[in-house]
Amino acid sequence: MTKAIGKNAVMHPLAILSRVLITVLVFSVTSLCAQQKAADAAKKFAPGVTESTIRFATIIAGDVSPADRKAMLAPMEFYIKLNNDQVDSFKDPRYKHRATRRMAESMLRFSNELANRRLMLSKWVLSGPSSTWGAQLKTHYRKDPVFALIGGIANGEWRPIHEFAEKNNIPTLFPITDLPVISDTDWHTIYFSRGYDQEGENSARFLKNVMKTSGHEMTVVQFVGASPEGRALALGFSRTWKELGMRPEVTVRLATGETLGTEQLAQVLEKKNPTVILVWDGPKALATLNALSDASLKPNMLFISGRYMGDSIWRIKDRIRDFTFITYPFSFSAYRPVAMGGTSTPRPDPESLSRSELPLVGHTQQISAEVGVVLETLTAALMDMRSYYKADNFLDAVDMMPSRQIPLYGTITLGSGHRYVSKGCYIVKLSNGAKPRLIRKSDWVITDSQGGRTKKEKKI
């Protein structure tokens, strides 16, 4: 056995080996602990989430006007700043025991640590043809991973963004679009409604009820503008009309850049003698429709989209108002602002509304109202996630929220499998006179997607 002599102690080879083994073992345990900690963090957090931040993105795709951009971004930026100002103040040691901090943490219930977590907002701007948006989104996400997409606005169909979110498991909360993807299986995007498709569907259901009441068959012709809006309206109508077992409609598709002309309309009326015509086109078609007031042949019913026609519906001539039916996918209660902390009183739907009583006027005002719902829903979901920041948990938290009232759509219904939260629309007409009112001609009819049935929903 080797002995140590002064400073020149010599260690036995077995002792050296033991020390090496102990060092390796300690290093291995430390490494395993670090790996386990990293694995636990990865298990707890989704992309875009760290111990101190949650990053979101909102999308601006295509040629969106500066006014629409501002209407969407201004409330979001204010919300993010307000949250982060509060987080910064809560981190100040001087406020550690103050009532305001304790109250905020108490309000956050199971997510007390959310009071110390900053929110970040990235703005992903997509340009060029929509066929290139997928590649642009991939680049954005690689450089700047986010937990969820909130809001967002596109001049065109939402499909490229929808498909990217599905492929990458990114929750997308209430994009501002009238052209959503219609799917019974996709999961990650929650829309306000099915947009134009929903209006076409409800026109078909309304007509079926009219036919059932009258006992007469209907000959239907639909004119379809060469636009995503026109195609979506026609698709919603045709699909539902077929599902209802009705005689197929005649479809006349307008060429790109073509406007429905009085001569073309007169020829179809003479040849087909339709009971009903549906004109799925925008305001440019109004002059031709107003010319029906002097035409010798007229349909019994004319359908147009209130959303697509916009403010031009108020210029419909008196002499065609009696047979013109308008899809109206918004709340039919007069707008009454509610003070902070107040509650809305349930009221029955009125029979008519003046223009000044409409819930919201103008596209930018609608965008601001929708963003308000986005941020309200986001706040509630983050509070209910109990710090488990994963995509499925976020979507589950949204699904668990109760139905509620919003100014633009009235009742919105969340729940498992509900990816379009406003589910119907009214059919309305204009009264005669210089100051017409919208007259409600139907109840709010929604589709039970599980069983394919329709039911009336009482609106508040």
Indicate if 252 and 213 belong to the same structural domain: yes
CA pair distance 114, 80, nearest whole angstrom: 13
Looking at the domain assignment, is residue 275 inside a domain?
A: yes
pLDDT at residue 13 is higher than 60: no
Looking at the domain assignment, is residue 419 inside a domain?
A: no
Indicate if 429 and 392 belong to the same structural domain: no
Looking at the domain assignment, is residue 288 inside a domain?
A: yes
What is the DSSP code string of 183-211? -SS--SEEBS--THHHHHHHHHHHHHHHH
Q: If residue 342 lies in a helix (H) or strand (E), which one and from where to where?
A: none
Looking at the domain assignment, is residue 370 inside a domain?
A: yes
Higher pLDDT, 438 or 96: 438
Q: What is the percent of the chain with per-residue pLDDT over 70, rounded to a whole number?
A: 78
Indicate if 382 and 430 belong to the same structural domain: no
Positive or negative, the CA dihedral 133, 137, 138, 139 is positive
**Distance separating the N- and C-terminal Cα atoms of the chain:** 94
Looking at the domain assignment, is residue 225 inside a domain?
A: yes
Indicate if 59 and 132 belong to the same structural domain: yes
The residues, any chain, with a CB within 8 Å of residue 292's CB and separated by 6 or more, are: 265, 298, 302, 320
What is the CB neighbour count within 10 angstroms for residue 248? 9
- Per-residue model confidence as pLDDT tens digits over 321-354: 999 999 999 988 765 554 444 445 556 678 899 9
CA pair distance 405, 343, nearest whole angstrom: 10
pLDDT at residue 316 is higher than 90: yes
Number of domains in the chain: 2
CA pair distance 162, 167, nearest whole angstrom: 9
Indicate if 237 and 171 belong to the same structural domain: no
Indicate if 226 and 215 belong to the same structural domain: yes
Instruction: Give the pLDDT score at 454.
Output: 43
Higher pLDDT, 399 or 448: 399
Taking residues 183-199, report their average pLDDT.
95
Give the range of the structural domain holding residue 118, as residue numbers without chain letter.
53-195+366-412
Indicate if 215 and 161 belong to the same structural domain: no
pLDDT at residue 102 is higher than 90: no
Instruction: Give the pLDDT score at 7.
Output: 43
Among 12-21, 102-111, 360-369, top mean pLDDT goes to 360-369
Q: Pull the structure tokens for residue 217.
A: 């068959």
DSSP strand pairing (438-440 vs 424-430): antiparallel
